[in-house]
């Protein structure tokens, strides 16, 4: 590796981007998590996945009687027969509507279009496999009049099932990040949809929470909680916070059984448009002019070096680890970043190594993003 001026030997290559993403995601809930923590979690998740496959696909479990305790569950929690039933992608989560069908109910399941396409086929297949005679109504939130359908089901005294960790709706994840309510996790802030909170505040409907977990013997543990009641009138934000307090308590209890870890990254506040925008256009313009002046007039006297811990992760993402900020890498590579790690090459040296076009784009962009500093010697 070529060295320029003052500095240390370039650092070792950063961890693979995919692994870095997974560890960053895990640290939202467990800030002290290490690569060993991640490996242990993955191993346990593989065990759960193999168990689920044996029971639901391989037929080694007592499949016809998986929901044999449905009547007992609803007898212990009769409130599940009506009102809002919130759940999450935990364990055999697609069987939650089937539990209600098995007990003689006709649930309505609230999903966005993407989740509807993924969950409904599996849920219907499992319902046929279990030979359940009842029906499930599917309400897609992206379609017109979905609120009217939800209110109708509630008025009829039927259970309405909602997957809290979907956290999407009209406008997709972008709208969640830009308009959602901030919610602080141990490791970072995410944004939450408040639609269910508003529904509860508006209707005063009962709310029960269900988490399904696989047991080691292939049976299902149904954990049911009654949430609320809330003051009248309820405040949608407070209701939303209580709903997600329950959700993340379940995830922390058995993280290996949660199937929707991607929700954390997708909902992260650091990806909100307001946090990616240029905070001070005048300062941005000043720094831009300064860099171009140095590149044109003083490339031999101008040294560029990283001023933050920066990595490139797959797929093509530039990460500021010091400030939990993310940008498109625009083709920048880890190998190229190594030229700036612990080194202070001049702009002229960088032009020789990478080309003037590279310096004018990537070098200038790192400087404008505040990830690199420029030192000019007279």
**Which of 273, 308, 341 finishes a domain?**
273
Same domain, 224 and 94: yes
Do the Cβ atoms of 232 and 204 come closer than 8 Å?
Answer: yes
Contacts of 54 (CB under 8 A, 6+ apart): 60, 61, 218
For residues 255 and 304, state if they share a domain: no
Tokens of 132: 């359940």
pLDDT on residue 134: 81
Pick from 44, 56, 43, 29: nearest CA to 126 = 56
73 and 100 in a common domain: yes
12 part of a folded domain: no
The answer to whether residues 291 and 144 belong to one domain is no
Domains of the chain: total:
2
Tell me if 173 sits within 8 A of 267, measured CB to CB. yes
Beta-carbon contacts of residue 378 (< 8 Å; ≥ 6 apart): 301
What range does the domain containing 134 cover? 20-273
- pTM for this model (two decimals): 0.79
Q: CA 22 to CA 8: how far, in whole Å?
A: 30
pLDDT digit string (tens) for 17-31? 678 888 989 999 999
Long-range (24+ apart) CB contacts under 8 A made by 279-284 are 284/368
pLDDT of 37-75, one tens digit each? 999 999 999 999 999 988 887 655 555 577 888 889 999
Task: Compute the C-alpha angle 285/330/347, nearest 5°.
Answer: 60
Shared domain for 133 and 204, answered yes or no, is yes
Among 291, 312, 288, CA closest to 303: 291
Q: Is the pLDDT of residue 10 over 70?
A: no
Whether 129 contacts 135, CB under 8 Å: no
Range 112-116 contact pairs with CB under 8 angstroms and sequence separation of 24 or more: 112/140, 112/141, 112/142, 112/166, 112/168, 112/169, 112/172, 113/140, 113/141, 113/142, 113/143, 114/168, 115/163, 115/166, 115/168, 116/140
* pLDDT tens, position by position, 98-146: 899 988 999 999 988 888 888 888 888 777 777 777 889 999 987 888 9
């Amino acid at each position: 590796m070529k060295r320029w001026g003052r500095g240390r030997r370039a650092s070792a290559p950063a961890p693979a981007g995919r692994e870095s993403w997974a560890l960053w995601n895990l640290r939202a809930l467990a800030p002290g998590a290490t690569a060993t923590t991640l490996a242990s979690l993955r191993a346990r998740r593989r065990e759960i996945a193999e168990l689920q496959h044996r029971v639901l696909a391989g037929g080694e479990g007592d499949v016809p009687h998986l929901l044999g305790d449905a009547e007992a569950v609803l007898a212990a929690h009769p409130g599940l027969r009506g009102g809002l039933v919130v759940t999450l992608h935990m364990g055999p989560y697609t069987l939650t509507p089937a539990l209600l069908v098995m007990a003689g109910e006709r649930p309505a399941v609230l999903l966005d279009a993407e989740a509807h396409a993924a969950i409904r086929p599996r849920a219907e297949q499992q319902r046929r496999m279990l030979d359940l005679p009842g029906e499930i109504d599917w309400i897609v939130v992206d379609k017109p009049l979905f609120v009217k359908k939800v209110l109708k089901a509630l008025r009829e005294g039927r259970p309405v099932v909602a997957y809290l960790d979907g956290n999407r709706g009209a406008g997709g994840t972008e709208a969640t990040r830009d308009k959602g309510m901030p919610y602080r996790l141990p490791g970072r802030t995410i944004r939450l949809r408040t639609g269910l909170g508003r529904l509860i505040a508006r209707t005063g409907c009962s709310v029960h929470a269900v988490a399904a977990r696989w047991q080691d013997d292939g049976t299902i543990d149904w954990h049911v909680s009654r949430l609320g009641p809330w003051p009248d009138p309820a405040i949608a934000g407070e209701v939303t916070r209580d709903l997600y307090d329950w959700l993340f308590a379940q995830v922390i209890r058995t993280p290996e059984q949660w199937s929707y870890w991607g929700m954390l990254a997708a909902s992260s506040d650091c990806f909100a448009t307001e946090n990616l925008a240029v905070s001070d256009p005048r300062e941005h313009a000043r720094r831009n002019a300064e860099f171009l002046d140095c590149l044109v007039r003083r490339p031999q006297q101008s040294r560029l070096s990283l001023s933050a811990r920066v990595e490139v992760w797959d797929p093509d993402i530039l990460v500021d680890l010091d400030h939990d900020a993310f940008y498109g890498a625009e083709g920048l590579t880890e190998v190229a970043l190594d030229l700036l790690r612990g080194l202070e090459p001049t702009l002229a040296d960088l032009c020789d190594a990478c080309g003037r076009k590279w310096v004018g784009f990537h070098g200038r962009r790192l400087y404008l993003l505040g990830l690199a500093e420029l030192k000019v010697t007279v």
